[in-house]
Each structure stands twice: as structure tokens, then as C-alpha cells.
Chains A and B, each alone.
Chain A
Amino acid sequence: MQIDWWTLALQTINFLVVVWLLSRFLYRPVRRMIEEREAADRKAAEAAEEKARKAEEARADYETRRAELDETYRKREAELHAAAAKERNAMLEAAQNEADALIAEARDRIARERREALEALQARIAGLAADLAKTALKGQAPSATAEVERVAAFLDGLSGAEREELRRDLSADRGAVTVTTAAAPPEDLRTAWRAALSQRLGDDLRVEFIEDPAILGGVELHLPHGALRFSVADRLNRAAAAMKD
């Protein structure tokens, strides 16, 4: 095998030229382009990061503003609630005061009307009492003797049939007439009563006397099956019954 040293030298030079050629027209431009692209990409990435940072700042600002608005809204809401509560309490207090005033006024009016009604009632009662007293005392005899005469006049005024009916009542079972007075009559008055009654209701009439302060005044004649009342108490009872009617 022969070695051509010229060829060896030329090929060595040729390869070195190839190295220069590729370095000059391939590697250097490619590296420059790659670096330019990387720089552009880096710049774009930085711009994107800057935009992202601004966006993040805007978002943070938005969050801060929203938080402030929320806080303001909460404060405003609390103030409105407080004002509403205050106004409600004031209205309730005013209503309570008004109600209290109305109640007090009603009570005063009721007390006044009650007092007026009581006074009117007392006046009416006084009038009624006066009427009752007048009624009760109207038929009162001026004396015990006059009372005997009054009863005699009443018996005399009866019809014959009525008087006969009284006599039959007294004759049955030998009845007696009981003369009831508020105070025990003296003997002369008893005698007058016996005389007056015997004369009108029969000679054999038995007359008894009873003292009863409850009749207040006047006299009551009690027969076996009835009574003739000329007492003050009887007149008062009848007047009271008439008032009720």
C-alpha cells in the first residue's frame, strides 16, 4: 500500500477548510439564530411573566377592593340594623307611652264615671229611702189609741160577707186574735183593743197580745188563717216590693 503524502496534505488542508466553511456558514449562523430565538423567547417569556405579574397584581387589587367593599357593606348593614332597631325601640316606646296614656285616661274616666254613678246612685238611694220613709210613715196613726180607732174603722169598712168570713175563721177551733205591737201596750190600751175587736168580731172573742219590735210600729192582727197588717214593717215591705216591680 502506497501513501500519497501530497494527497494526505491536501486532504488535511481540505478538511480544515471544511471546518472553516461549516463554522463560518453553518454553525455560526445557526448559533446566532438560536441565540436570537432564545433571546426572543426569553423576552416573550419575560413579557408574559410581566403580564402575569400585572394580572396577579390586578387580581390582588381586585380582591382587596372586594374585601373593602364587603367590609363597607357589613358596616353599613350593621349601621342600618342598629338604626332600625333604635327606630323600632323608639316606636315601641312611643306606642307603649301612648298605650299607657290611653289606659291611664281610660282608668281616670272609668273612676270618674264610677264616682259619678256612685254619687247618682247614692242620691237615688237617698231619694228612695226618703220615699220609703214617707210611704212607711204615711199611714202611721198619731197615737196608740188612734191606732185602735183606725183598725176599728177598717173593720167597720168591711162588707158584711167579709166580716162574716172573719168571724167564721175565728169561731173554728175557738180561735183567737193576736194583737202584735212594737211595744207592750198598757192595760187600758189592751182593754180598748178587746172592746173594739169584740164589738166587731164577736163577744166571745179571745184577744192575745204579743210584743214584736220587728214590726217597727203600728199593729198587726193575726187570725188563725190570716192577718191584718197595719204595721210600719208591712208598709215598708210593700213599698220595697213595689220598687222592685
Chain B
Amino acid sequence: MDASPLAPDVLFMLGPVPISRAVATTWAIMVLLWGVLALAFRTGAPRGGALQSALEIVVTTIAAQLREIFDRDPWPFLPLLGSLFIFLVLANLAAVVPGVTPPTGHIETPMALGLIVFLSVHAYGLRARGTRRYLHHYLEPTPFLLPLNLLSELTRIFSLMIRLFGNMMSHEFVIAILALLAGLLVPVPFLLLGILIGLIQAYIFTVLATVYIAAAVGAVEA
């Protein structure tokens, strides 16, 4: 127990590249996703089986949620935001699998997602409003707020990242401490609570990212 629990958990080295547990878990999630999608859409028929219908429901529900926030066609934003939600759900729920730690419980994954959201906000904003108009919104409502506006761009992404990481990491710690102190079955209710926390955190992260992007494209006030 000398090593920090927050330190990267490297499983093996791929050449000079260390492959951590979070990366391996993410790859497993990606393989699972690919398998499920291949299984669901193997026929390509407009009216497929139950799995295809369930996935359609998931997609249309996310699209409807995005439409409510953006008040416009959600499909241009769906690849990023929908993938964000689905990936976060799967990554957070990986905690319920014995021996698997959620990738979001390590700072690198929330940081990577935060970095992508940060870049995506500006990319969507610049594309939707143009460079001049987009940059001009940092001077609103008054140019004196430019430093605060720039700072808020960093802090909100930072809070987004830390919120996800803190919740998932703390949950991992709680489960580990309970398993250590109380035995095998006592953490089960906390695992169920972890499912709820994982879903809520995925939803919060996605909705906040959506709101940031919507503000950048001028759909809502951030």
C-alpha cells in the first residue's frame, strides 16, 4: 500500500507506451460496443429486432433531449454528445463488474473528455457563429469581463472534469474501504448506489457539455 491509489495503474507496456488499466477497460468497452452494434444492426432492415429497437430508443431519446436544449436539429451534435453519454454510462457502470475499475475513476479519462469538450465548444461555436462573432461574445456584456469570461472557459471545464473524477474515484474508494473493513457482501448496496451515481454523473457531464456547446452556438445563454 505504499503506492498512491491515484497513481496510474499500468498493466503492460506496448513498446514505449504504458497501457494503463483505464485504457484497457476503455478498449474492452469499445469492443463491447462494436459487438453490440454489429449484432443489433447486422440485418440493416428498417424494422429490426429488440436490440436494434432498444438502441433506436436510446438514440432518439438522446436526440430529443438535445433538441430540447438546442431548440434546433440535434443530429449535428449527436455524434459527440451522444457518444459522450453512452461512453460515460458504460465507463461508470464498469465499476459493477468485479475486478474492473471505471476508467472515469482515473483523472486521465475525465481530463481527456474535458479536453475534447473544451475543444468541441470552440469548434462548434466558431463554425456556427463565425470567428468574429464568436470571439466577440467574450466581450459581452462588457469588455471588462473578458478575463473572467476566459477564466470561466477553463474553470467550468475543470469543474466538469473534477466533478466526474471526484465522484467516481471517491465511490471506488468507498467500495474498497468497505470491502476491506466489512467483508464481501456489505458493499453490494453501495454497488447499486454506484449504478445510480454513474448514471447521474454521465447525465450531468453530458448535459453540462451540451449547455456549453449550445451557448457557444448561440442556442442558450451559458
Contact = CB atoms under 8 A, between A and B. Distances in A.
A18 B30 contact: yes
Contact of A33 (B6, B46, B103): B46
Interface string B105-130: 01111011101100000000000000
B33 A22 contact: yes
Interface residues of A, number: 31
A33 B4 contact: no
Given A11-B109, A22-B79, A30-B60, A36 B6 contact: no
Contacts, number: 116
**Main SS class of interface, B:** helix
B38 interface: yes
B46 A3 contact: no
Contact of A7 (B8, B30, B56, B113): B8
B173 interface: no
Nearest to A24: B37
Contacts of B56: 30, 33-34
A109 to B, nearest CB: 106
A36 to B, nearest CB: 5
Interface string A18-47: 110111011101110110110010000000
Contacts of A19: 79-80, 83
Most B CB contacts (10 A, CB to CB) among A3, A10, A11, A23 go to A11
A4 B41 contact: no
Contact of A18 (B41, B60, B83): B83
How many chain B residues sit at the interface, stated as a range, is 35 or more
Interface stretch (B15-23, B190-198, B203-211): B15-23
A14 B113 CA distance: 10
B7 interface: yes
A16 interface: yes
Contacts of A15: 26, 83-84, 87, 112-113, 116
B146 interface: no
A154 interface: no
A1 B5 CA distance: 9
Pairs of residues from A and B, 4 with the lowest C-beta to C-beta distance, nearest first: A4-B8, A11-B112, A25-B37, A7-B108
Interface of A: 1-4, 6-12, 14-19, 21-23, 25-27, 29-31, 33-34, 36-37, 40
